[in-house]
Copies of this chain bind each other. A is one copy, B any other.
Amino acid sequence: MKLVMAVVQDKDSNRLQSALVKSGFKATKLASTGGFLKSGNTTFIIGVDDEKKNELLTVIKKNCQSRDQIITPVSPMGGSTDAYIPQPVEVEVGGATVFILEVAEFKQY
């Protein structure tokens, strides 16, 4: 069994959740925050049998899309701050960041 931890954008969270239910995958959702943009996103925890892992990754890929986000950095990403006029910067946020871990043991009570 594998434990799949997928960080996705809030905008795709409900769509992914319905797609998982429809394909018979069980999941748990955690509200999370991005380290860089500091905006809300969603972390899914999904335990999946090894032979179903690739099917699960396809469901995640199909239901999560990357988007450009305009941010205005409060202070320069690097360098001096004199007479700094914040310029908007475009950042591409990926659809899903996925970590796959090995499950040593699985129990349900």
- Count this chain's copies in the assembly: 3
Interface contact B30-A32, CB-CB below 8 Å: yes
Are A33 and B26 in contact (CB-based, < 8 A)?
no
Across the interface, A97 reaches (CB within 8 A) one of B20, B38, B108, namely B108
B102 & A102 in contact (Cβ 8 Å cutoff)? yes
Report A39-63 residues with CB < 8 Å from chain B CB: 41, 43-47, 57, 60-61
Size of the A side of the interface (Cβ < 8 Å), in residues, is 48
Using Cβ atoms and an 8 Å threshold, which residues of chain B touch A46? 35
Q: A61-B109, A108-B98 are in contact. Are A26 and B35 (CB under 8 A)?
A: yes
Q: A95's closest neighbor in chain B, by CB?
A: B109
Give the distance in Å from the alpha carbon of A29 to the alpha carbon of B61 in the complex.
22
Sorted from nearest, which 5 A-B pairs have the closest CB atoms?
A27-B35, A100-B105, A98-B107, A29-B33, A95-B109
